Amino acid sequence: MRAFVLTAPGQYAVHEVPVPVAAPGEAVVDVERVGVCGTDVEFYSGAMAYLHQGHSSYPMRLGHEWSGRVAAVGAGVDPVWVGRRVMGDTMLGCGACRRCRRGHQHVCEKRQEVGIRGERAGALAEQLAVPVSSLHVLPDSVDAVLGALVEPGGNALRAARAAAVGPGDRALVLGPGTIGLLVAMFLRAAGAEVHLMGRGDNSPAFAHELGFEYMWTEESLPDLPFDAIVDASNAVQLPDMALRLVEPGGRLVYVGLAGAPSRIDTRTLVLKDVTAVGILSASPGLDDTIRAYADGSVDPRPLVAATVGLEEVGPVLAGERPVGAGPGPKIHVDPRSG
């Protein structure tokens, strides 16, 4: 089968590789859509911390936001899975440690991460093998495009819920990329008044197209009380800015990661009686995200700017926009095309 393989920083190729075989407890999936993520870009540049911590190494196959259809199953797996449309959890815990037993497999010390960590091949290929325990069934109303948006959506849903806002509350999202916009959609679905802050490029116009009235830059941000602030950016200075801006008694949610340590003054955190929450992984939010997409309360389709084949993944990772791409921040890949 064909697969996109990253061989070193900035070096890649589409290779013919052996088709996966389902081990006991696993399923092989025909991949239909894969989202290109900021984490993939970090592996492409060589900046991803896992490379320097020994959790990941080249060559590697990227792709952790995906959807597809089960083609085969291994020993011990109910054959009823064959033919089901699915997406999969990125985080694969060991299943035996204290964290896994408590339902926190996404922070298991020995976890694998599909297309990211522990030499678990990702979905930028025609087929993918994963544990059947990681699969989530997609209803008919959630097609391949929406299915590949469930994983980032799960992160966003968890961040929005951690903000704990609803009607009568005002929330600010820092960083209107894929995750930030998804967070904004879930906050809006909860009934909050949603504001976004980004850079002064095309973000304001696109946010308005999505129905968000309040889009600001750091310079234009009005002096308003924000009951919750979600930092979905990679800017090192914004976690501290969020703490300074949030209302006393409010909530801060950190879901973005900066390339260098970002610092906050915990004295301010205490004196403002603020709750701060960190969000890693979509795992606990996947099923509810699927339901939100299925019932239409959140529609992330406009976020997808273009769909490309495996041969075009390299240029996308290098920062090139596909010809004819729309304004959205997300690029999808159809491994079967081309």
What tens digit of pLDDT does each residue of 64-106 get? 999 999 999 999 999 999 999 999 999 999 999 999 999 999 9
Cα dihedral value 211, 200, 146, 47, nearest 10:
-160
Indicate the range of 7-21, 116-130, 162-176, 189-203 predicted with least confidence.
189-203
Q: d(Cα 286, Cα 249) in Å, to the nearest integer?
A: 29
Question: What is the arithmetic mean of pLDDT over 168-194?
Answer: 97
Assign 324 a pLDDT band (cuts: 50, 70, 90): very high
Contacts of 107 (CB under 8 A, 6+ apart): 99, 280, 281
Does position 297 have pLDDT exceeding 90, yes or no?
yes
Pairing of strands 85-88, 65-73: antiparallel
- pLDDT at residue 202 in the model: 61
| Domains of the chain by residue range | 2-149+300-333, 153-278
Structure tokens at 106: 């996404």
In DSSP terms, 173 is beta-bridged to 196, 230
Chain mean pLDDT for the chain: 96
**pLDDT over 90 percentage in the chain:** 96
Question: What is the arithmetic mean of pLDDT over 137-161?
Answer: 98
- pLDDT at residue 271 in the model: 98
Contacts of 80 (CB under 8 A, 6+ apart): none
Assign 56 a pLDDT band (cuts: 50, 70, 90): very high
- The stretches of 261-338 forming alpha helices (DSSP H) are 266-271, 286-295, 313-317
**Are 117 and 56 within 8 A, CB to CB?**
yes
The angle at the Cα of 59, spanning 5 to 316, to the nearest 5 degrees, equals 40
What's the burial of 220, exposed, middle or buried (CB within 10 Å: 0-12/13-18/19+)? exposed
Q: What class does CATH assign to 2-149+300-333?
A: alpha beta
Residue closest to 313 by CA, chosen among 78, 23, 114, 15: 15
**Are 207 and 181 within 8 A, CB to CB?**
yes
**pLDDT over 70 percentage in the chain:** 99
- pLDDT at residue 10 in the model: 97
* Fold observed for domain 153-278: Rossmann fold (3.40.50)
Residue pLDDT, tens place only, 26-47: 999 999 999 999 999 999 999 9
- pLDDT at residue 322 in the model: 96
Residue pLDDT, tens place only, 220-269: 999 999 999 999 999 999 999 999 999 999 999 999 999 889 999 999 99
Q: d(Cα 223, Cα 244) in Å, to the nearest integer?
A: 12
Does position 301 have pLDDT exceeding 90, yes or no?
yes
